[in-house]
Amino acid sequence: MKKIAVILAGGTGGRLWPESTDVHPKQFRSFVSELPMVLDTYNLICKHYDPADVYVITFKKYKKLLQSTIESLPKENILLEPFGRNTAPAIALAQAMINNKYEEDDILTIFPSDHIIGNQDEYISAIESSIQAAAKTDGLVSVGIEPEYPNSQLGYIQYADNDIDEKLHELGVRKAKVFAEKPDIDTARRFIDSGDFVWNTGIFSAKMSVIRNEISEHLPMLSGLIKEIEAKIGAEDFIENRSYVYKQINSVSIDNGLLEKTKKLYIVKSNFAWSDLGTWDEYFNHCEKDKHNNVLKGEVIALKTSNSLIKSTDKLIAVTDVDNLIVIESNNAIFISSRGKSENVKDLIHFIRAKELNKMIK
């Protein structure tokens, strides 16, 4: 049995605008580490996988950016989407492009490229448990984090604490009951109080055959279109055909399209330090604070200021008499928000696009 890793490195990370942009999205930038996020992820995975079996899928327009970011990544391990169609098509396409290299029972693990991981030994242990469970259960095995606080920006998975093989139970494996994608804050609070929910990390393992069969069952239109692409691999018109077919694919996340529907979902309970760094609020939560509970980055002067994130790239930012504020300065723009509301940056981006001010988000 081989272990295969696919790192998802598409997307523009719009909720971390103005640092994350269409031209240079968050996965190719550094936020907490000194290294770009996708490189951190790749380096960590390659410590525990054969690098020949570690693939990265990204948008075609990011190919050169990916190559310059991960210089050691073999060109045959770069998988390209013509453009974005969310995570379910990306995973289905990635699998189709490597199918001929692997057996049906080899285990594929999907990794987001833009997460921050602490307690790396525990992280790897959870991945190994998910691989063991995927081999034994013929299921999709998601790595879950026991939640620390209610978060409305994450998915949650409820699990049952019985009907599982004893050895797998000892590894923290449980059968999933309910998948809930981004509940409101009151619902998230109830989930935590119930004690039988985990945060969904987006990391999951399954046999090659299981992923393909589950996509075929729950996303038949996607499955059929991906098969058309796969049939053309190696042909002279492969790239042209891939783009033509991909335009017909609907955008759908793997969470909504598959994990919410499958009857074969399991979880591995873990509690390694983890953040998906999806918003500036998550960035604030992850960073060390000063004595006034501020995160100050770059050239910043903050007087009579508390509970705030202020991040400068080029210019001096000077603030006084503010509380619970987010201020992010980049080359093209300045973003200001109340803390706890930074996910609403997506509304600003829609407005900017509608006003045809696209240079501000590039």
User: pLDDT tens, 56-100?
Assistant: 999 999 999 999 999 999 999 999 999 999 999 999 999 999 999
Do 201 and 291 lie in a common domain? no
Name the nearest CA neighbour of 127 among 139, 110, 115, 104. Answer: 110
Query: Which residues, 6 or more positions from 244, have their beta carbon under 8 angstroms from its beta carbon?
Result: none
**Residue 196 predicted with pLDDT over 80:** yes
Residue 332: its pLDDT value, please? 83
Mean pLDDT check: name the lowest of 43-47, 337-341, 357-361: 357-361
| Strand ordering across the sheet containing 325-329 | 295-297, 309-311, 325-329, 334-338
- Quote the domain boundaries for residue 201: 3-275
Q: Where are the alpha helices (DSSP H) in 119-204?
A: 120-137, 166-170, 185-194
Do 227 and 324 lie in a common domain? no
* Measured distance CA(329)–CA(18) in Å, rounded: 7
Residue 161: its pLDDT value, please? 85
pLDDT band at residue 362, thresholds of 50, 70 and 90? Answer: low
Residue pLDDT, tens place only, 33-62: 999 999 999 999 999 999 999 999 999 999
Mean pLDDT check: name the lowest of 146-150, 187-191, 289-293: 146-150
Residue pLDDT, tens place only, 259-297: 999 999 999 999 999 988 989 999 998 899 999 999 999
Do 157 and 302 lie in a common domain? no
Do 189 and 311 lie in a common domain? no
- Out of 275, 305, 322, pick the residue that ends a domain: 275
Do 303 and 229 lie in a common domain? no
Name the nearest CA neighbour of 300 among 314, 282, 286. Answer: 314
Higher-pLDDT residue of 295, 354? 295
Do 192 and 288 lie in a common domain? no
Name the nearest CA neighbour of 188 among 142, 160, 146, 156. Answer: 156
**Residue 29 predicted with pLDDT over 70:** yes
**CATH code for position 12:** 3.90.550.10
Amino acid at 30: S
What average pLDDT score do residues 93-121 get? 96
**Residue 359 predicted with pLDDT over 80:** no
Residue 291: its pLDDT value, please? 97
**Exposed e or buried b per residue across 281-306, where buried means at least 16 C-beta atoms within 10 angstroms of its C-beta:** bbbbbbeeeeeeebbbbeebebeebb
Do 201 and 340 lie in a common domain? no
Q: Are strands 309-311 and 325-329 parallel, antiparallel or unpaired?
A: parallel
Q: Check: pTM over 0.85? Answer yes or no.
A: yes
Give the total number of structural domains in the chain: 2
- Out of 226, 242, 275, pick the residue that ends a domain: 275
What average pLDDT score do residues 237-259 get? 96
Query: Three-state SS for 9?
Result: coil
Do 303 and 173 lie in a common domain? no
pLDDT band at residue 331, thresholds of 50, 70 and 90? Answer: confident
Do 160 and 49 lie in a common domain? yes
Mean pLDDT check: name the lowest of 1-10, 179-188, 266-275, 316-325: 179-188
Do 170 and 252 lie in a common domain? yes
Do 249 and 305 lie in a common domain? no
Query: Three-state SS for 160?
Result: strand
The proportion of the chain whose per-residue pLDDT surpasses 70, expressed as a percent, equals: 99
- Out of 275, 302, 335, pick the residue that ends a domain: 275
Do 293 and 262 lie in a common domain? no
